[in-house]
Structure 1
Amino acid sequence: MANVRTGSRGRRTTFNSASARHQVGRGTEEEDSRFRNELSARQRDGHCPIPITFRTMSQPPEGEQTNVRHSCDVEPNGESEAARVERLGRQRPEKLGSLWKEIGFVFSIAMSQALTEYFVSGFTVIVPTIVEELEIPAASTTWPASVFSLVVSAFLLPFGRLADIYGGFPVYIAGFVWFCAWSLIAGFSQNELMMDFCRALQGLGPAAYLPASLTLLGSMYRPGPRKNLVFSIYGAMAPLGFFAGIFFAGVATQYTMWGWYFWIGAILTFLTTLTAFFAIPNDFSEHRNSEVKMDWLGSVSTACGVVLLIFAVTASSHAPNGWATPYILVTLILGAISLSAAFYVEGWIAAQPLLPFDIFRIKHVRPFVLGLLFTYGTLGIFLLYATLYLQNIMNLAPMMVVAYYIPLAVGGCLLATLGGVVLHRVPGTVMLAITGVAIIVDSLLFALIPNNPNYWAWIFPAMICATIAVDIVFNVANIFFSTSLPARQQGLAGGLANVLFHLSVALLLGFADVVAIRTAYQGERQSYKNAFWFELACGATALTIFMGFVRIRRAESDLTADEKEALKAADDTAPAEDKR
């Protein structure tokens, strides 16, 4: 720590990477010169990992004394700033006072991912039973499965903004309470309309708690191995929730009644809500004086545009005249107009846009987002059409389908947790390449699967590749967005990461349904295989984008986005002569 007593001449501002703020000190020109020479010597010796800038500003009030901490200071114990940043990246956050407190926090947040996947994956298993018992027509089969992801994707960004305004804790708890209530009600559905209505309102729960969960995680942990591990645990809960969903769905449909699938989910949601209430630090007071405002115009236009557009895509394959059906054309045009209006509002009208265009100035973020849209939805295609193939073509009982999916769940947990160990050692671009190849392999295996296939030769490797495909890219994307955005935009980071997932699932699942329906004349087996060919095309496109245009480095211990932002601001405002 450098303690500098100020005099009456000159002013010096430096950046403290630990506190992410500018601190001001004063000294004579002679003191300034000695100080610069000392720091320059440290920088030449390799002790200063962060560039230092000096500048002279207006004279401050007399008699002021300030302690100045520089980015290349050496602690009294001999620890360099680089070592300090590395140490902080491995420490437990101060707000989580004990290991048990941290375990409760991580469990509560991770369960948000597990429960969302529970109601995505398991529902595909009970779809045949629900279609039969509720007498849902074939043309409407896709809606109960897709409306959940549709609502989630449409409202993630508005709820992410609410998390930035009021804090992650209140939005997280409110989302879980709502989700628990509608999960309970959905189990009592008596017809198609009630089921679709309950599934849609269910989707508002994850739309609230998913961005809030990433707000809490992103603001709690600094960049480093500990953050990588926690985010990997968060990602590992996706395959665990996926397997829990298909397991309880199989048990409910084969041994009891399908309503128990929803009621078990409601019980798990209630227990998670209770744990979260006591384990998650309440950050509402920290946001009480927040200057972040809601972008209502952008929220409405974006949500309407997404809903109308995906409705047109999904319903077109079942409409009497396809895309030429009047209501399909109307919803498609209205959706395009609404999204165009949202683009204009976000770019030129909103004072605080829901999705600031500045986020797309982050290096490689535009091709990365495009690649993710082609990547995430492949999981939805694989889950739905693999389940339909196993049940309708191979005539497997629900519990046998559950057994077939075990490798996907176990492999997903292992891979996601392993990611916490390797993400700070392996470049993200390499991980994205593995993702693209895995998508191509899992879709190719089902596209070419023969009659009466050998499980170990065809289905087992497809399941392993499917879990590789989604779990790796999910961790890379979450850490990338969380680390790249400052603390005030962690709700945006969580919203964007999740909206890309659910929007991609809803959109690509709609197009896959179009492919399957349009080729139904080739037979049910081949129409399912054609959906897998479409998945392969999406995976190949994503791989091309990732390899050609995206470069993501290792997720090492580093300054936070706020600290980098403040350091850049300090450097930008320094006079040119002081930078030399």
Structure 2
Amino acid sequence: MAMNQRNGGSVGELDTPLEGERQTPGHTSQNGNGNPHYSLPLGNSLEEAPEVRIERLGRQRPEVFKSLWAEIGFVFSISMSQVLTEYFVSGFTVILPTLVSSLGIPSASATWPASAFSLTLACFLLVFGRLSDMYGSFPAYVAGFIWLALWSLIGGFSTDLIMLNFCRALQGLGPAMYLPSSVALIGIIYRPGPRKNLVFAIYGACAPLGFFVGIFFAGLVAEYTHWGWWFWIGCVLAVITAITSYLTIPSDIAKKRKVREARQGTDDQVRMDWWGAVFIVVGLILFTFAIIDSAHAPNGWKTPYIYVLFIVGSLLLFVAAYIEMHTRQALIPSSFFKVPSMVPLVFALFLCYGSLGIFLLYATFYMTGVMGGTPLQLVAWYAPMALGGCIISTLGGFVLHLLPGTALIVTAGVAWIVAPLLFAIAPSGANYWAYIFPSMICATIGIDITFTVANIFFTTSLSESQQGLAGSMVMLILHLGIAVCLGFSDIINTYTLDRLGLRQSYHAVFWFEVACAGVSLIIMALFVKIKRAESELTVDERMAAMNDMQLDQSTTGARNMGTDSADGADDGKLN
């Protein structure tokens, strides 16, 4: 790649090469109308077969990294996005009882500090994904961690429920900025192939690792010191990540500026769909709020503000869908759903990730409320999930190009069912090694394989200019699925608690999770077809090849027509 050094480091700036410059994967040149032209990757030898060349390029280190250490720094910085997001989700459930007693939070309001983070995150993902496509993933990524650090620092000083909810909601804007950019950066820098598979596998492995880290520090804080230290430890980690990200992630600001200037005033210019953004964000907030709060409202779904907000939120989402279908700059363009298997995969992932949210929260509740586990015991009981996640994801990165994606996600779907099933059938006084340990292993198999395969499928199915969309959709499905399914699980728990008791009400929730995972497995097995994640041309390169082929055909046709005309004229002269 054309390299512009930043601060003298080993990582350059993503840029577009000059005309006539050697083109390599991910490189573009501007054509006459300002649109990027992607040429096919060139090899070192003219005799190298195209298939061999593409396979080699899918394995080698991207040229933007001058050394392996530069690439390691990039992967570390990107992976921290998963660690910190899960840190602020998982750890909060452990310190929540301490917060309830310390700040005097009513039990009916205790779910909101936990929900506010994920709700804000999910609702703003599409907006920041579009801004990432417009102005670059690098600035959005770094800014997200700075924002998260700021509100984590302030959150540790919360004095009441209102301040805590406010800080948790604003914390969620940080991941909404950096999560779409993290997926986009991997999708842009790495071309399809084994190396990209491995990076995404490491990225996915950091989700259970972050979940464990959050529980670990929350357990220590709850046991030995003031709860605010959990926020401040997260703040320190966010600051460290912001610094390493600035130093190790290639900047795409200049590249986006050039494309923006070249496309200024044309239909190809990427713009913000402000009307769609407003209706989507407000609609999602009201819709999800109604579902989450219905379990704690005075009269459940009969409470006026619950069904009013649900109806208004649903109507706003219908209006947003209408806007998206009739605007050129839709936040979710119709072309996204035209990708083969995309629609059924979205529905299946929504249920998969919803199952994950239920499992993580209610497994914690079960192990503390039913099994009597202490915060530090939770750390030990969740350790297999974190360790297994690291091992499974890393090994998966080496075999994703050998096995069909459909077979992998169906295998993960079976694991999704077994994980909650073991909790659902666990007897009173259940043994950890017989029920909890295998459940943790199945859970990590399900999330790691599904997350990695889905990320690779999304990023390789969309063009470079839509990698922000790919990142935002991956994370939107994840966090919206968690929020909605947790809302319904909370309803089940609330309505069965008095009649069945604590343990059986948790069992009812786990059976609901089994049902969600089962429906997801059926959808994936019957309607989703994903091939092996092997080295291949990118979407942009395939489009360029098709355009070149059409141009050659047009040129050949015009030449033949000219020859026929000349032959006709010669025949006329002879006559």
- TM-score category of the 2 structures, normalised to the smaller one: 0.7 to 0.9
- Which amino acid in the other structure matches residue 117 of structure 2? F
Q: Is the CA contact 2:187–2:459 (under 8 Å) kept in the aligned structure 1?
A: yes
Counterpart of 1:330 in structure 2 is 308
CA deviations 1:294-325 (Å, max 9, x no partner) are: 11111111111111101011111111221121
Q: Is the CA contact 1:22–1:570 (under 8 Å) kept in the aligned structure 2?
A: no
Counterpart of 1:11 in structure 2 is none
Counterpart of 1:462 in structure 2 is 439
Question: Is structure 2 residue 353 aligned with structure 1 residue 376?
Answer: yes
CA distance in 2, matches of 1:440, 1:111: 29
SS at match of 1:169: helix
Counterpart of 2:217 in structure 1 is 248
Q: Of 481, 506, 512, which aligns to 1:534?
A: 512
CA shift in 2, pair 1:23/1:567, >3 Å = farther
Q: Of 254, 257, 262, which aligns to 2:231?
A: 262
- Percent identical residues: 54
CA shift in 2, pair 1:22/1:267, >3 Å = closer
CA distance in 2, matches of 1:440, 1:73: 46
SS at match of 2:537: coil
Counterpart of 1:563 in structure 2 is 541
- Which amino acid in the other structure matches residue 202 of structure 1? Q
Question: Is structure 2 residue 450 aligned with structure 1 residue 484?
Answer: no
CA shift in 2, pair 1:336/1:572, >3 Å = farther
Counterpart of 1:387 in structure 2 is 364
CA deviations 1:520-577 (Å, max 9, x no partner) are: 1211111111111111000001000000100000000000111112223344566589
Question: Is structure 2 residue 310 aligned with structure 1 residue 341?
Answer: no
Question: Is structure 2 residue 291 aligned with structure 1 residue 313?
Answer: yes
CA distance in 2, matches of 1:467, 1:148: 23
CA distance in 2, matches of 1:22, 1:490: 18
Q: CA deviation at 1:193?
A: 1.3
Q: Of 209, 221, 233, which aligns to 2:190?
A: 221
1:181-220 mapped onto 2 (5 Å cutoff): 181-220=150-189
CA shift in 2, pair 1:535/1:23, >3 Å = closer
- Which amino acid in the other structure matches residue 460 of structure 2? T
CA deviations 1:427-451 (Å, max 9, x no partner) are: 1111111121111111111011111
Counterpart of 1:357 in structure 2 is 334
Q: Of 69, 79, 85, which aligns to 1:100?
A: 69
SS at match of 2:345: helix
Q: Of 201, 212, 215, which aligns to 1:232?
A: 201
CA distance in 1, matches of 2:450, 2:53: 29
Q: Is the CA contact 1:477–1:497 (under 8 Å) kept in the aligned structure 2?
A: yes
Q: Is the CA contact 1:20–1:562 (under 8 Å) kept in the aligned structure 2?
A: no
Q: Is the CA contact 2:41–2:54 (under 8 Å) kept in the aligned structure 1?
A: no
CA deviations 1:208-266 (Å, max 9, x no partner) are: 00011111111001100111111111111111111100000000001112111111111
- Which amino acid in the other structure matches residue 380 of structure 2? A
Q: CA deviation at 1:76?
A: 3.8
SS at match of 1:434: helix
1:136-147 mapped onto 2 (5 Å cutoff): 136-147=105-116
Counterpart of 2:245 in structure 1 is 276
Counterpart of 2:503 in structure 1 is 525
Question: Is structure 2 residue 283 aligned with structure 1 residue 299?
Answer: no
- Which amino acid in the other structure matches residue 234 of structure 1? Y
SS at match of 2:172: helix
Q: Of 40, 47, 60, which aligns to 1:91?
A: 60
CA shift in 2, pair 1:324/1:94, >3 Å = same
Q: Which moved more, 1:141-150 or 1:534-543?
A: 141-150
Q: Of 415, 419, 431, which aligns to 2:396?
A: 419
Q: Is the CA contact 1:223–1:555 (under 8 Å) kept in the aligned structure 2?
A: yes
CA distance in 1, matches of 2:69, 2:150: 29
CA shift in 2, pair 1:414/1:574, >3 Å = same
CA deviations 1:151-171 (Å, max 9, x no partner) are: 111001110111111111111
SS at match of 2:169: helix
Q: Is the CA contact 2:91–2:217 (under 8 Å) kept in the aligned structure 1?
A: yes
Q: Is the CA contact 1:73–1:80 (under 8 Å) kept in the aligned structure 2?
A: no
The count of residues paired between Structure 1 and Structure 2 equals: 520
Q: Is the CA contact 1:20–1:563 (under 8 Å) kept in the aligned structure 2?
A: no
Counterpart of 1:133 in structure 2 is 102
CA distance in 2, matches of 1:19, 1:162: 21
CA shift in 2, pair 1:23/1:268, >3 Å = closer
Q: Is the CA contact 1:302–1:339 (under 8 Å) kept in the aligned structure 2?
A: yes
SS at match of 1:95: coil
- Which amino acid in the other structure matches residue 492 of structure 2? V
Q: Is the CA contact 2:116–2:169 (under 8 Å) kept in the aligned structure 1?
A: yes
CA distance in 2, matches of 1:365, 1:568: 22
Normalising by structure 2, what TM-score?
A: 0.87
Question: Is structure 2 residue 149 aligned with structure 1 residue 171?
Answer: no
CA distance in 2, matches of 1:552, 1:102: 28
Q: Is the CA contact 1:21–1:563 (under 8 Å) kept in the aligned structure 2?
A: no
Q: CA deviation at 1:125?
A: 1.1
Q: Of 495, 500, 515, which aligns to 2:477?
A: 500
CA distance in 1, matches of 2:120, 2:334: 23
| Structure 2, unaligned runs of 5 or more | 1-22, 32-37, 261-268, 561-575
Q: Of 112, 115, 124, which aligns to 2:84?
A: 115
CA distance in 2, matches of 1:159, 1:84: 36
SS at match of 1:342: helix
CA distance in 1, matches of 2:359, 2:456: 25
Q: CA deviation at 1:333?
A: 1.1
Q: CA deviation at 1:283?
A: 1.0
| Structure 1, unaligned runs of 5 or more | 1-15, 25-68
Q: CA deviation at 1:71?
A: 6.9
Q: CA deviation at 1:351?
A: 2.4
Counterpart of 1:441 in structure 2 is 418
CA distance in 2, matches of 1:148, 1:495: 16
CA deviations 1:488-515 (Å, max 9, x no partner) are: 1110011111111011111111111011
Q: CA deviation at 1:578?
A: 5.8
Q: Is the CA contact 2:24–2:41 (under 8 Å) kept in the aligned structure 1?
A: no
Q: CA deviation at 1:22?
A: 10
CA distance in 2, matches of 1:126, 1:70: 53
Q: CA deviation at 1:17?
A: 9.1
